[in-house]
């Protein structure tokens, strides 16, 4: 026993001697495995992160010292012997290292700093989690007994300060007196600055070439890019015959550039479909950024289906080179996880993926889901990018597509971004939502945005709509139209489009059209992206060549898809959807007279639920009181959206309530821009067959290869997927969570599931 005691005593003396040596030289480390194989000194890491986080905070509109203090405190717990043993793999058990700095911040009443430091790995928690730090104890490895987090935090702080690792400054108390929505977003912004700084420093320690890819990104150079865009528009104008449409586009462009001189805030661009919104909004944003010192431009589009089309237009306009780094696309087809090694030498793809992590690019094109769910998330990987949203011009394409159920949290967040973080928000659409009109609230009617807050760019939208009236519209009575009768009418036109409310209806009409000749085509989300793009190319070729072309489609053609038919039929639905469908009729104004738009009642009343069904009901109500609706009058859409919003709880999940009490996990849980989750199923269309074969052989696939598969996937809702898996039509394949179609895929209508109605006779 005495020998054992002597052994323990010698071990303890060695341990204490090692501590003295480390403390004498401040040889405490943050991480191992750098470029040279060495460990990174903790004091170096903390200084680097403090410097970066302070700069990011200042650029975003937060105090630089707030970012610096979060950087100094975030890994304070690593200045402990327990963590050093863990780093040297002497003790593999996880060692808490965020709680200590968070507690010191909380003791100073620096609430945002406490949340950010504590959540920089695990995510933002609720207030209760930070409060618990004051009473928590932690078990320590080795011979020391458990201590309270407060004791250990004080000890680590004292040691680090005495050893010159930390500056002798604790965070200042929060500028916001009590928890509220201002503090909530301020906390998110601070976490974003801290996480980005922390991960960039880690990246620089671990890799030589990844930081080089980031620093090679070109600046916005707003003035030069604006000139490129204007020259691009001039070239397009020279290639087209002058008409009322081209003259109207010129007027919209002049108005947009003129309005750019105004101060940052809310703007709207209310222009009929085909009026040149995309390029005019881009010119506005560049000129506005030049005038007001904004850092970047963010395009937010509602649907993944149109993001690549918009990106191609913007790249061509700003003059991005093939190997350029000006325009970043960030959506579900471009992930931010996986190995950083380039695959097949695709450096541009690696750079795009890197920039998608933090949006440090001059022009970002993303989806509404990615944009808003990042702003409301509590996960560090999502929040990382949002400090780069500050001082941006944000363009919302097809702004009417915001789901009504989240309008209050969405517009509340945009109010903060414009008022507190120097952003401009531009709403672009032919069918503007009712943002500044009084809407029923819980207490009293109030607008989503203050009256007068949104500045319209076009001097007289009503007059512009009247000038660009290129269609006449026929509204239905009470009669219902059989599919065969509709198909006959479309065949008589020769070139015609019908937009239906459901995939089932699109298939039913296509069945009738296909029996009347080989000129019929079908479009729906039961077709993979590659299939849809091929079909759209066929449609455009036929239209340009003057060939016969009859199309049965779901709503996917309504927003941002450039098609120009002489005749369009639209199933009765929400008014904004009807107007968007009408925008595919006589789009370029080439007909001698007006294009013909016919609204009809399908033979069966099948309607999607939720806001879509409520919108259709509002349209019915307007028809009942007005007899007909002039879709060329912008006031009709104001009336429509006021009625729709009054019939909807605009914060049905009580997101704002959770934000006010700083319950970050609850906010993330409650906020969903799109409720219905889908899963992609790989189908054998075109190149999809090759990917299925490779999966079946068990060949490992890289990240970029999995991304390429996205073009050959069909998204199924959970009930559809369960039915398909249960019947054997779809099966999981491999360990990557990929589902593969084992059933039928049609070259005309896409994926066919068991139980689908056959094409109707």
pLDDT for position 324: 62
The label of the residue with tokens 């001059």 reads 362
pLDDT for position 588: 83
396, pLDDT greater than 60: yes
215-224, 245-254, 266-275: segment of lowest average pLDDT = 215-224
4, pLDDT greater than 60: no
CATH architecture of the region 222-459: 3-Layer(aba) Sandwich (3.40)
pLDDT digits (tens, 9 = 90+) for 563-605: 999 999 999 999 999 999 999 999 888 888 899 999 999 998 7
128-142, 438-452, 656-670: segment of lowest average pLDDT = 128-142
Tell me whether domains 222-459 and 470-631 share a fold.
Answer: yes
pLDDT for position 368: 93
pLDDT digits (tens, 9 = 90+) for 275-293: 889 999 999 999 999 999 9
Calpha distance 666→650 (Å, rounded): 18
pLDDT digits (tens, 9 = 90+) for 260-278: 999 999 999 999 887 889 9
pLDDT digits (tens, 9 = 90+) for 18-62: 555 555 445 788 887 777 778 888 999 999 999 999 999 999 999
Q: Could you tell me which residue, 701 or 289, shows the higher pLDDT?
A: 289
333, pLDDT greater than 90: no
pLDDT for position 29: 87
253, pLDDT greater than 50: yes
Percent of the chain whose predicted confidence (pLDDT) is above 70: 89
pLDDT for position 214: 86
pLDDT for position 285: 97
Q: What is the DSSP letter of 501?
A: S
Q: Which of 94, 108, 92, 87 is nearest to 138 (CA)?
A: 94
pLDDT for position 91: 54
**How many H-runs (helices) and E-runs (strands) does the chain carry?**
30, 23
Provide mean pLDDT across the span 105-130. 90
78-87, 263-272, 646-655, 719-728: segment of lowest average pLDDT = 78-87
Whether the CB-CB separation of 372 and 111 falls below 8 Å is answered with no
Query: Where are the domains positioned within the chain?
Result: 29-206, 222-459, 470-631, 678-752
Provide mean pLDDT across the span 524-553. 94
5, pLDDT greater than 60: no
First to last CA, the chain: 94
| CATH for the stretch 470-631 | 3.40.50.300
760, pLDDT greater than 50: no
Provide mean pLDDT across the span 664-679. 88
8, pLDDT greater than 70: no
pLDDT for position 381: 95
pLDDT for position 759: 59
Whether the CB-CB separation of 743 and 707 falls below 8 Å is answered with no
Calpha distance 7→99 (Å, rounded): 34
13, pLDDT greater than 70: no
- Kindly give, in sequence order, each residue whose CB lies less than 8 Å from that of residue 598, ignoring residues fewer than 6 positions away: 473, 474, 489, 567, 568, 569, 570
List helix spans (H) across 435-574.
461-467, 483-493, 503-514, 529-545
Provide mean pLDDT across the span 89-112. 81
pLDDT for position 243: 81
pLDDT for position 338: 43
313, pLDDT greater than 50: yes
Provide mean pLDDT across the span 485-513. 95
Confidence band (pLDDT; 50, 70, 90) for 334?
Answer: low
pLDDT digits (tens, 9 = 90+) for 364-375: 999 999 999 999
pLDDT digits (tens, 9 = 90+) for 163-179: 888 887 788 888 766 77
Three-state SS at 142: coil
Confidence band (pLDDT; 50, 70, 90) for 322?
Answer: low
pLDDT for position 343: 43
Calpha distance 274→655 (Å, rounded): 36
Percent of the chain whose predicted confidence (pLDDT) is above 90: 58
463, pLDDT greater than 60: yes
The pair of three-digit structure tokens given for residue 441, joined into one six-digit string: 């609230």
**Average pLDDT across the chain, whole number:** 87
403, pLDDT greater than 70: yes
Provide mean pLDDT across the span 487-507. 95
Calpha distance 78→157 (Å, rounded): 11
Q: b vs e for 732-761, b when ≥16 Cβ sit within 10 Å of the residue's Cβ? A: ebeeeebbbbbbebeeebbbbbeebeebee
Q: What phi and psi values does residue 269 have, to the nearest 5 degrees?
A: -125, 95
pLDDT for position 216: 76
Provide mean pLDDT across the span 317-343. 64
pLDDT digits (tens, 9 = 90+) for 148-159: 788 888 888 888
Provide mean pLDDT across the span 242-253. 88
pLDDT digits (tens, 9 = 90+) for 596-640: 999 999 998 788 888 999 999 999 999 999 889 999 999 999 999
Provide mean pLDDT across the span 732-751. 86
pLDDT for position 18: 54
pLDDT for position 736: 65
397, pLDDT greater than 70: yes
pLDDT for position 635: 94
pLDDT for position 571: 97
């Amino acid at each position: 026993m005495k020998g054992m005691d002597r052994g323990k005593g010698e071990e303890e003396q060695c341990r204490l001697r090692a501590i003295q040596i480390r403390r004498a030289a401040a040889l405490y480390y943050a991480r191992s495995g750098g470029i040279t194989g060495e460990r990174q000194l903790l004091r170096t890491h903390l200084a680097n992160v403090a410097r970066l986080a302070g700069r990011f905070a200042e650029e975003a509109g937060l105090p630089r010292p707030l970012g610096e203090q979060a950087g100094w405190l975030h890994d304070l717990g690593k200045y402990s012997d327990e963590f050093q043993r863990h780093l040297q793999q002497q003790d593999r058990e996880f060692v808490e290292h965020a709680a200590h700095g968070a507690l010191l911040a909380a003791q100073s009443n620096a609430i945002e700093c406490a949340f950010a430091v504590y959540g920089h790995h695990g995510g933002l928690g609720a207030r209760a989690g930070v409060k618990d730090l004051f009473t928590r104890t932690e078990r320590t490895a080795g011979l020391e007994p458990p201590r309270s987090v407060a004791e250990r935090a004080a000890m680590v702080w004292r040691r680090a300060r005495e050893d010159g690792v930390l500056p002798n400054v604790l965070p200042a108390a929060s500028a916001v007196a009590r928890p509220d929505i201002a503090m909530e977003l301020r906390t998110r912004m601070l976490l974003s600055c801290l996480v980005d700084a922390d991960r960039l420093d880690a990246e620089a320690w671990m890799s030589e070439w990844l930081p080089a890819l980031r620093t090679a990104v070109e600046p916005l150079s707003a003035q030069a890019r604006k000139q490129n865009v204007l020259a691009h528009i001039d070239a397009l104008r020279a290639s087209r015959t002058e008409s009322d449409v081209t003259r109207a586009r010129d007027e919209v462009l002049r108005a947009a550039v003129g309005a750019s001189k105004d101060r940052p805030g809310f703007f709207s661009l209310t222009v009929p479909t085909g009026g040149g919104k995309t390029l005019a909004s881009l010119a506005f944003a560049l000129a506005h950024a030049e005038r007001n010192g904004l850092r970047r431009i963010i395009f937010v589009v509602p649907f993944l289906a149109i993001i690549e089309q918009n990106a191609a237009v913007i790249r061509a306009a700003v003059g991005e080179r093939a190997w350029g780094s000006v325009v970043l696309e960030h959506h579900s087809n471009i992930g931010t996880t996986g190995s950083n090694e380039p695959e097949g030498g695709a450096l541009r793809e690696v750079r795009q993926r890197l920039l998608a992590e933090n949006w440090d690019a001059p022009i970002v094109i993303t989806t509404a889901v990615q944009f808003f769910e990042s702003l409301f998330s509590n996960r560090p990987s999502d929040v990382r990018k949002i400090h780069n949203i500050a001082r941006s011009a944000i363009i919302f394409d097809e702004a009417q597509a915001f789901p009504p159920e989240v309008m209050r949290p969405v517009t509340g967040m945009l109010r903060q971004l414009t008022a507190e973080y120097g952003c401009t928000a531009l709403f672009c659409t032919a069918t503007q939502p009712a943002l500044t009109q009084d809407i029923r609230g819980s207490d009293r009617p109030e607008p989503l945005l203050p009256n007068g807050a949104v500045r319209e760019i076009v001097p007289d939208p009503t007059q512009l709509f009247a000038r660009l009236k290129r269609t006449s519209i026929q509204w239905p009575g009470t009669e219902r139209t059989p599919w065969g009768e509709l198909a006959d009418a479309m065949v008589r036109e020769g070139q015609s489009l019908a937009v239906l409310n459901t995939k089932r209806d699109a298939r039913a009409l296509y069945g009738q059209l296909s029996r009347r000749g080989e000129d019929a085509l079908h479009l729906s989300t039961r077709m993979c992206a590659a299939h849809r793009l091929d079909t759209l190319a066929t449609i455009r070729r036929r239209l340009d060549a003057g060939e016969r072309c009859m199309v049965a489609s779901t709503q996917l053609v309504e927003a941002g898809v450039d098609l120009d038919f002489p005749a369009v039929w639209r199933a009765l639905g929400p008014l904004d959807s009807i107007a968007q469908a009408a925008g595919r009729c006589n789009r370029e104004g080439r007909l001698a007279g007006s294009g013909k738009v016919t609204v009809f009642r399908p033979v069966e009343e099948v309607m999607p639920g939720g806001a879509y069904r409520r919108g259709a009901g509002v349209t019915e109500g307007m028809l009942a009181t007005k007899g007909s609706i002039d879709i060329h009058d912008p006031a009709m859409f104001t009336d429509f959206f006021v009625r729709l919003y009054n019939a909807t709880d605009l914060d049905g999940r009580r997101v704002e309530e959770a934000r006010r009490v700083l319950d970050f996990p609850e906010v993330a849980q409650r906020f969903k821009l799109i409720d219905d989750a889908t899963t992609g199923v790989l189908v054998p269309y075109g190149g999809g067959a090759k990917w299925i074969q490779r999966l079946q052989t068990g060949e490992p696939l890289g990240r970029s290869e999995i991304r390429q598969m996205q073009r050959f996937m069909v998204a199924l809702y959970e009930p559809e997927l369960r039915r398909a898996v249960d019947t054997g039509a779809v099966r999981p394949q491999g360990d990557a969570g990929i589902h593969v179609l084992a059933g039928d895929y049609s070259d005309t209508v896409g994926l066919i599931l068991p139980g689908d109605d056959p094409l109707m006779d």
